[in-house]
Amino acid sequence: MAFAGELIISFFLIVSGIFGFVGSFGLLKLSDPMSRMHAPTKATTLGVGGVLIASILHSLFMEDHLSLHELLITLFLFITAPVSAHFIAKWHIHRHETPESLPDAGDDGVWATHDIEDDEDAAEMPR
Amino acid sequence: MITYAIYFAFACFGVALMMNLWRILTSDGVGVRVLALDTMVINTIALLILYGVSISSEIFFEAAMIIAMLGFVSTVAYARFMLRGNIIE
Amino acid sequence: MSLFLIVALPFLGAVFPALLIRAGRNACSWSAGVTTLLAFIGLMINLPAVLRGEAVTARLDWLPWLGLNANFFLDGLGFLFATLILGIGLLIILYARFYLSREDPMGQFYTYLLLFQGAMVGIVLSDNILLLLVFWELTSLSSFLLIGYWKHLPEGRQGARMALAVTGSGGLAMIAGMLILGHIVGSYDLSVILQNKEAIQSSPLYLPALILILLGCFTKSAQFPFHFWLPHAMAAPTPVSAYLHSATMVKAGLFLMARMWPVLSGTPEWFYIVATTGLITMLIGALIALFKDDLKALLAFSTVSHLGLVTMLLGFGTEIAAVAAVFHIINHATFKAALFMSAGIVDHETGTRDIKRLGGLRHLMPVTFTIAVIASLSMAGLPPLNGFLSKEMMLEETLHTAWGHSHLLVPGLAVLAALFSAAYSFRFIAHVFLGPKRSDYPAHPHDPPVGLWLAPAFLVVLVVTIGLNAQAMVGPLVKVAASAVTGGELPYFKLKLWHGFNTALLMSTIATIGGLILLVSHGGLERVWNALPRPEAKTIFDAVIRALTGLSRVVTDTLHNGAISRYAMIFVTFTLAIAVYAYFTGTMTLPTRDAQDAPLLPTLAWFCLISATAMLTFLHRNRQLALVLIGVVGLIVSLSFNYLSAPDLAMTQISVEVVSIILLLLCLNFLPKTTPVDSSLTIRVRDGVIAGVAGVGSAALIYAVMIRDFSFPTISEFHLANSYKGGGGTNVVNVILVDFRGFDTFGEIIVLGIAALVIFALTEAVLASNVRAYLLNRKPEWPQSGDAHPLMMVVATRVMMPIALMVATYIFFRGHNLPGGGFIAGLVAAIAYVMQYMASGFTWAAERQRIFYHGIIGSGVLIAAATGMGAWFNGLPFLTSAFGYVHLEPLEEFELATAALFDLGVFLAVLGAVMLALESLSRFAWQPGMVTEHAMDINPKRDDPPPEPDPDADPDQPATEGGT
Amino acid sequence: MELLLATAVGVLTASGIYLIMRKRTFPVILGLSQLTYAVNVFLFASGRLAINQPPILNKYAEVSYTDPLPQALVLTAIVISFGMTAVIVMLALSAYLSSRNDRIDLTEEPGDDA
Amino acid sequence: MRLLRHIFPHPFLTLLLTLVWQLLANDLSLNSLLFGFFLGIVIPVITMPYWPNRPKLHNIPMVIEYILVVLYDIVVANIAVARIVLFKPDAARNPAWVRIPLELRSPEAITVLAGTITMTPGTLSADLSAKGHSLLVHCLDTDDPDAVRDEIKQRYERRLKEIFE
Amino acid sequence: MNHLIIAPVVLPAMLAPFIIMVIRHHLDLQRIFSVAATVILLGISFALVGQALGGEIQTYELGDWPAPFGIVLVLDRLSALMVLLTSVLALPIVLYAIGSGWDKRGRHFHALFHFQLMGVIGAFLTGDAFNLFVFFEVLLIASYGLMTHAGGTRRLRAGVQYVVYNLLGSTLFLFALGTLYAVTGTLNMADLAVRVAEMPPEDTALLRVGAVLLLLVFAVKAALLPLHLWLPLSYANAPLPVAALFAIMTKVGAYSILRMYTLVFGPEVAATHGLVGDWLLPAAMLTLAAGAIGILGSRDIGRLVAFAAIASMGTLLIAVGLFTPASATAALYYMVHSTFATALMFLVADMVMERRGPEITPRTPMPQSGLIASLFFVGAIALAGMPPLSGFIGKLLVLQASWSAPERVAIWAIILIGSFVTIVGLARAGSLIFWKSHAVEPEPDPNPQSPPEIDTAPEPSPGLTFSATFALLAGLIALTIFAGPATEFASETAEQLFDPSRYINAVLKGGEQ
Ligand code: NA
Ligand code: NA
């Protein structure tokens, strides 16, 4: 049992290490800015998730008590990582893309980041 | 066995950290740097937890949790600054 | 009457005119006159005692620690001077009442005058040289006010400043001299000092003390080369000139020389310094007076000359010379005051004091003429007037005086001076009163009312009567005064008009005849005089002051040029220098601790930190990048704290870090986004070197510390031992913060609260200024993206914010036993709110929930303080904690501690402070039109509502939900 | 370990001091921030370094603890310097908005204090 | 009923927070359960003004199904991404933008979808359209953007629609 | 347990939050509470002085933790004197601020004012080195707010400099405390004294560095050259009533030097020998010179008084730097004098500035010119150390105290020449401002929209402002008249200071060390 525990823990540790590496390596290797974003948001998150699971298992198998609070960090990361990525993507769109370089936005005409009010006073106007 | 696995993971995340640093140091756009910093924060969380596992201590949990929360807030703040200038509007 | 009262009366009298300004001119002058008269009477009551040779004393301990005591004594010398001061003072008060015009503020005048009078009386009655110094400097100050009395005259201003500068600086020198003297003797009491001639004159400090004291005397008595201020002081109203610059203040220096005569005189140093100065002053003063066209200037230089005469006599160091000096002081006071008043009358009546515009007044102003002639002839030293007597005595004394090896130098120059003196006296008569009547006087001259001429007339009567019957009139007074000067028995002398035909008479005759010849040839001489290059004292003085001011300005502006970058450089350099000095003057043993080895992880972190710092330093011009790098540094520092067994610190560090970055980002929004290059490469290299040295210094210092053990057991051993049983917590850091050193924390939250208040106040101040208009019209520097409040962020926040608050609560409650506590909890809670503000905007969030951060801060501090004060009710000191364990079925046992309440105060203060600061900063960006109506900019549910409206899924309209 | 920390303090100090001698408010604030890090770590290290000995009392085992006092001091110092940073940031911004000039020196230039 | 709505503005949030507290406290005891529940009530009341509307979850089993699907996708697809990052030359990759027309209307649902897209490897939701009717997705490497779109709609949006609307 | 010792800290610490919480929007109430609290503070201070007069040193152990493990407040003669000085200064200044309307030109004046008092008083009372740092920060951050009160471009920019410079000082403070703790393992000042005295002679270098860094921190506060550079711009651009209050802040620096370098690193302590003597005195002399030169070279009145403050700090630090009981006596007397005189002059400068602007140039006359001129004259006399006011006595005391110092000639020369330059500078400024303006006819105003109002004072209640100034003047006069008792008190205080064992025993309860 203990060996199985060790095995599982080690597995999670190694896998998460690989994903953690991939996440940052992708950030370095991938050339275009949008692609770069992919690697860290997922791989790194997953990597951390793996470490956290390893930690839970470690306390379960090695210290004989159930400690789930690592799940909380996982929860945080799963909620926040997409939002962070979303913001950075918006920054990229804002800076480096034009309405023409993006696919057509359908009925809405334009993507939200490009939806800039020309008139300074527009905010005051009733919708 | 776990010890070696931990070392391996340490190495992976340590190298990851260095790569993030390299990104921060060499990028030309602030956006990528913010992304790299965000990744760096997440990697440090992994390192902290790993370190906790390696010494069988849970003393770092709260710190890791707070870093996770605050890393998000600062990333959003940087991004909002780049997008809107004013981060609280 | 007590001496205290005599000294105090003029000061008391000074108060009345100031209070009576509105009561009219007469009230002012009456009150001044009456107090002076009272003091005079008080003085006269002591006359019999003084004449008996007794010293009247009055003593009061003022500052025994220093030896500065209010001790007064009245002997012959003091009596003589006090009589002059109060007596002539009375006459001046009378004269001034009629002299000053309606526009002149009379009350002010008398106040200043009486202040001066009191100070003078103080000088001459002091039995303590420190006390004397007090009065001495007071005369400088009050004369400054009197000279500058006519504020509209630039000459008055400059003259007053010059007088103050010269006499004030002399006074400062005298302070040093007096202190030395006091130290030699061991007492500052004159009566003691005067007994210690031997000790003083044999002291190596005798010469410094002598020079310093004489500097005071010479400046005050306008001795060469400090004589130049006196003529410029003539810008004062004539009563002032008559009083200060003929009769009293300028004689203070003479008084002091006379006072100190018993212990200071009799040495070659004394003779050569004092007598020579006096002789030169007498000669130069007389010479210059001859060529002055301004009546008062003429009289001023004449005064300089006569002061020189007395100084010279005192310098001779013989008893008879001292008698002559005392006698001449009396005589000069009478005729010179009369002359000043006459000059004042002429000025008053004709509208000019320029001799070139005067002449022929003898018929128009017969009374004035008479007074002026008698006084002038006395000044010229003609018999039978009193000036003649003392001049004769002076000439006689010069005959017995050898300067170096020469027996002719002193008498010769004295005759020359007497000759000039006669000449300008004759000129005063001839060019003002004699000659033909003129048609171009600025006014219509005639004799003034009796009030104006009564005082000089009285003085002239004295001039004549003393001249005719000196021994009876002033003989006893001169005797007691002179014996006070010499400090012992005097040789026999008798003041009389006729000593037979002797050398002195011959010298007098030569002087008189020579004077007449000079008068006749004045026109020619004047052309020669004007053609000669002469140093103009005022020009030089002005130039010196201007240069001094200019130099000060340059020095000051260069040193304090407002460049804090340079101030900081100086600060750092100085600190380094001093620290290095302190280090190398100390001793050092070998290390006592082994350094721990550095595993991979810390090395990586170190590498990150160094790289980020280096990059920050070199690329700081890109401000946004700099903030990212600061973030890296903060992250690594926080990690290091974690690694080095400081979880509390790590959490605090990272929370503070994030809030700081948010603040900086808010601020950078308005600032330029890049820093231009302002310094040359040289400067940058210099700064780099300084910074490098500082870095090496701090690194070496902390390294040296870390590889050594504490020299003593640390106090924290107590904290570790007592944290649980005395403080009820296992997190020792937290127990230290809220209990062992709770007072620090109390101060700390107050700092934070104040910071927020300051930020709030600054915001208000800036927004109340014209900055507001600028902010309203400000355009963003770069195009803003659309979608200010992205949907994803808003929704994520709705979940994250409650969780973050939960985390804050958790951190708060566990802090006493595990890492955490009120401070971190407060920051986390604040960040939770910041998250909300970032998601939906400040206005939207603030509109939904108005939070009075002022109140939160205040309540936080008050809760902390109240918790601290709770201990008072148990008779224990502020911040004494209490804790207990509660066991409630079916719950498990839990702890209740007052420390938690204190920590709640901390929590609230932190939360309130951070939020108030952020709110204030956000207000800069807020614009009136900018009302955020919705939590998120894009909400498809709001824009196209579903076919069947569901009340529970209402769009987030403020109208429906905001009111709760 | 000690050497790493000492050099880190040194580099942070040097960076901070270099930046506070710049002529604009923003880099000076950055410099103060760096200096704050430096001094906080310095103060922390005055209790000597210990790894894995947090001052959280262990009720069950005899273990050694790192010196808690410098930690408490640094905590106070961090909070205080945070307050100070907030004020200087705000003040620098106010000064900039009032004068439209972020120079930190007030050397007498014509029209400088418009 | 109204009172209940004020006490429990977001019942699921209350539940989540109670759970979060248990995780934080990291031990299951009556004390922590009661206190966690108490906070789970108080904190949503405090934050209610910032979450005025009340989204409803209609299909609880579907929630669990969805979570499992997503977790599976994350793990599996991450391996794919790792392969791309580690072994595929940059030039051989085909990054692409994809527009996903949305049927979802609830902001919560859209957020979950966008988050899912980002967390599942190979795709990243970059932006919404101006009125929120389309989602802009970036693909790391795809030859057929339309297939990506269809799979997202089929695999995630469908389920979310059932959960939220 | 004598809770009175902590009362002067707790009172403002409670009042200020109360003001911002409850009566934030009611200026009148704020004023009433503020003045009332200041009066109470004054009462407490007198009571404390009364207790200290007995000569017994009292301690207050916060949290009931024994020294040196907890924080302890110490009431000895010196701390009592300083607390009294602070509250005596505070009352006229708060009255002036109200009378002149300065308190309503920005927000939170009264709250910041009381926080400032709290910081200053705490610094005087504390017996713990780190707690001293905390109170330094309290008083500093409150001073940042007061210095920038009411805003304005130049004030804000000067404020940035003031804050930056003091932040450097605070950083240095922490470096010093870290070093001292690292060497001695304690923070309590009495305990520090014990341990420093027992320091092994072969290991003093680090201690010396710590000690000297601490001294430099205090030197910054005390405006010792060349660390005084922050002062002119800050004080001249602060609201001048605030600058008047700051007269006590520089004294905090002087106090700390006196305290630390008699108690902990005293003249007898071998380990830190020569740290002060070698350079503090010359630096103090140069400070005096720089101040005096600055007075002569000033173009505006605020700066003039700021330099006068520097000069008087120079004189004070000369006395402090001699480190003998006699010089400490002189220093204490001069400290009180300098506080009142500087404050008085700042208030007078404010009156002038409010009426005719800051420049020292001839201008049109101003309302109440005569009265203000008299006050200026008296203030100048005090600052220049001319008789009859206490400045002269203080100067004599300092000169006297330096008699036995080897640097006597230099000290005397600097002090006396400094006085001379000061006199010339003040006379020049005073005659230009008050006399020359008398000469200049009220010219036709270039801006017709602001007609000169000659007879109306700019303050809402000039009665209050003048009373406040006269109160300070009365302080100076009292200090002069009662110079005997005052020096007696100072000399006993100095004796207590130079017998650190009394302090140590009181704090460590006879020393279980
Ligand atoms: Na306690
Ligand atoms: Na600091």
Residue C951's pLDDT is: 46
The pLDDT confidence band at residue F278, using thresholds 50, 70 and 90, is: confident
Instruction: Cite the DSSP H helix spans in C433-536.
Output: 450-468, 470-486, 503-520, 522-531
Q: Does A34 touch chain B (CB under 8 A)?
A: no
Residues of C in contact with B79 (CB under 8 A): none
Residue C54's pLDDT is: 85
Q: Does A114 touch chain C (CB under 8 A)?
A: yes
User: For residues B66 and C824, is the Cβ–Cβ distance under 8 A?
Assistant: yes
What phi-psi label fits residue E122: left (phi over 0), alpha (psi between -120 and 50 degrees) or beta?
left
Residues of B in contact with C788 (CB under 8 A): 84, 89
pLDDT tens for the 165 residues of chain E, in order: 567 777 777 788 888 999 999 888 887 788 888 888 999 989 988 888 888 887 778 888 899 999 999 999 988 888 888 888 888 888 888 899 999 999 998 899 999 999 999 988 789 999 999 888 999 999 998 888 899 999 999 999 999 998 887
Residue C21's pLDDT is: 67
Q: How far is CA A43 from CA A16, B30, E132, in A?
A: 9, 22, 28
pLDDT digits (tens, 9 = 90+) for C697-727: 999 999 999 999 998 999 999 999 999 988 8
Residue C819's pLDDT is: 85
Cβ of B57 within 8 Å of Cβ of D56? The answer is no
Greater confidence, C852 or D108? Answer: C852
Q: How many other β-carbons are positioned within 10 Å of the β-carbon of residue C560?
A: 24
Residues of D in contact with B55 (CB under 8 A): 52
SS (H, E, C) chain A: CHHHHHHHHHHHHHHHHHHHHHHHHHHHHCCCHHHHHHHHHHHHHHHHHHHHHHHHHHHHHCCCCCCCCHHHHHHHHHHHHHHHHHHHHHHHHHHHCCCCCCCCCHHHCCEHHHCCCCCHHHHHCCC
* Alpha-carbon distance B59 to nearest alpha carbon in chain D (angstroms): 8
Q: How far is CA C86 from CA C90, C230, C243, in A?
A: 6, 22, 10
The pLDDT confidence band at residue C897, using thresholds 50, 70 and 90, is: confident
Those residues whose C-beta lies under 8 Å from the C-beta of residue C48, and which sit 6 or more positions away, are none
Residue F455's pLDDT is: 53
Number of helices (H), then strands (E), belonging to chain C: the values are: 41, 4
Cβ of F130 within 8 Å of Cβ of D35? The answer is no
CA of F170 to the centre of ligand 2 (A): 5
pLDDT digits (tens, 9 = 90+) for F333-366: 999 999 999 999 999 999 998 888 888 877 666 7
3-state secondary structure of F204: coil
> With 90 as the cut, is the pLDDT of residue C569 above it?
yes
Q: Which amino acid is at E78?
A: N
pLDDT digits (tens, 9 = 90+) for F106-126: 899 999 999 999 999 999 999
Q: For residue A111, which phi and psi values (nearest 5 degrees)? A: -80, 150
The pLDDT confidence band at residue C100, using thresholds 50, 70 and 90, is: confident
* Chain C residue closest in CA terms to E26: C810
Q: Record the pTM.
A: 0.93
Q: What DSSP string runs through F252-317?
A: HHHHHHHHHHHHTS-TT-STTTTTTTTTHHHHHHHHHHHHHHHHHH-SBHHHHHHHHHHHHHHHHH
Residues of C in contact with B63 (CB under 8 A): 638, 642, 647, 650-651, 654, 819
The two tokens of residue C807 are 């985390």
Mean pLDDT (whole number) for C418-423: 90
Do C and E touch, counting CB pairs below 8 Å (3 needed)?
yes
Range of weakest confidence among C24-28, F215-219, F284-288: C24-28
Mean pLDDT (whole number) for C747-752: 93
Residue C1's pLDDT is: 64
pLDDT digits (tens, 9 = 90+) for C644-669: 999 999 999 999 999 999 999 999 99
- The residues that bridge with C403 in the sheet, in sequence order, are C406
Those residues whose C-beta lies under 8 Å from the C-beta of residue C166, and which sit 6 or more positions away, are C219, C226, C228, C229
Which among C595, C626, C697 has CB closest to D1?
C595
> With 90 as the cut, is the pLDDT of residue F272 above it?
no
Residue C960's pLDDT is: 36
pLDDT digits (tens, 9 = 90+) for D29-77: 999 999 999 999 999 999 998 888 889 888 888 888 999 999 999 999 9
- Ion ligand 2 residues within 5 Å by Cβ: D 81; F 170-171
Residue C896's pLDDT is: 82
pLDDT digits (tens, 9 = 90+) for F222-258: 999 999 999 999 999 999 999 999 999 999 999 999 9
Residue F453's pLDDT is: 44
Q: How many other β-carbons are positioned within 10 Å of the β-carbon of residue C580?
A: 14
Q: Does E3 touch chain C (CB under 8 A)?
A: no
Running DSSP on this structure, what letter comes out for residue C587?
-
> With 70 as the cut, is the pLDDT of residue A125 above it?
no
> With 70 as the cut, is the pLDDT of residue C525 above it?
yes
> With 50 as the cut, is the pLDDT of residue C354 above it?
yes
Residue C945's pLDDT is: 60
Residue D110's pLDDT is: 40
Q: Percent of chain C having pLDDT more than 90?
A: 46
Residue C600's pLDDT is: 86
pLDDT digits (tens, 9 = 90+) for B12-23: 999 999 999 999
3-state secondary structure of C886: strand
> With 50 as the cut, is the pLDDT of residue F450 above it?
no
* Alpha-carbon distance F181 to nearest alpha carbon in chain D (angstroms): 7
Bridge pairing between strands E134-139 and E123-128: antiparallel
The pLDDT confidence band at residue C927, using thresholds 50, 70 and 90, is: low
Residue A45's pLDDT is: 86
Residue E29's pLDDT is: 82
Residue where the block lists tokens 């002193």: C410
* CA C807 to chain CA mean position, Å: 58
Range of weakest confidence among C630-639, D95-104, F455-464: F455-464
Q: Percent of chain C having pLDDT more than 70?
A: 97
Q: Nearest bound ligand to CA F166?
A: 2
Residue C399's pLDDT is: 86
Range of weakest confidence among C8-17, C562-571, F360-369: F360-369
Residues of F in contact with D114 (CB under 8 A): 153
SS (H, E, C) C636-700: HHHHHHHHCCCHHHHHHHHHHHHHHHHHHHHHHCCCCCECCCCCCHHHHHHHHHHHHHHHHHHHH
Greater confidence, C139 or C964? Answer: C139
Residue C431's pLDDT is: 86
Residue E2's pLDDT is: 67
CA of C109 to the centre of ligand 2 (A): 57
Tally of CA atoms within 13 A in the half-sphere of C477 that contains its CB: 22
The pLDDT confidence band at residue F437, using thresholds 50, 70 and 90, is: low
Residue E53's pLDDT is: 80
pLDDT digits (tens, 9 = 90+) for E3-33: 777 777 778 888 899 999 988 888 778 888 8
Alpha-carbon gap, residue E33 to C892, rounded angstroms: 12
pLDDT digits (tens, 9 = 90+) for C75-99: 999 999 999 999 989 988 888 888 8
The pLDDT confidence band at residue F436, using thresholds 50, 70 and 90, is: low
**What is the average pLDDT score of chain F?**
90
- Closest-CA residue to A26 (of A1, A47, A57, A11): A47
> With 70 as the cut, is the pLDDT of residue C956 above it?
no
Cis preceding-peptide flag for C890 (omega within 30 of 0): yes
User: For residues C184 and C203, is the Cβ–Cβ distance under 8 A?
Assistant: yes
Do C and A touch, counting CB pairs below 8 Å (3 needed)?
yes
Residues of F in contact with D99 (CB under 8 A): 153, 156-157
**What is the average pLDDT score of chain C?**
88
pLDDT digits (tens, 9 = 90+) for A54-87: 999 988 888 888 888 888 998 899 899 999 999 9
Residue C157's pLDDT is: 81
Q: Which of residues 16-75 of C touch B (CB under 8 A)?
A: none
Mean pLDDT (whole number) for C419-442: 86
Cβ of C956 within 8 Å of Cβ of E53? The answer is yes
**What is the average pLDDT score of chain A?**
84
Range of weakest confidence among C353-362, C614-623, D29-38, F262-271: C353-362
> With 50 as the cut, is the pLDDT of residue A119 above it?
no
> With 60 as the cut, is the pLDDT of residue F512 above it?
no
The pLDDT confidence band at residue C489, using thresholds 50, 70 and 90, is: confident
CA of C882 to the centre of ligand 1 (A): 7
Residue C364's pLDDT is: 85
Q: Does F1 touch chain C (CB under 8 A)?
A: yes
- Closest-CA residue to C188 (of C72, C74, C66, C76): C66
Alpha-carbon gap, residue F130 to C897, rounded angstroms: 26
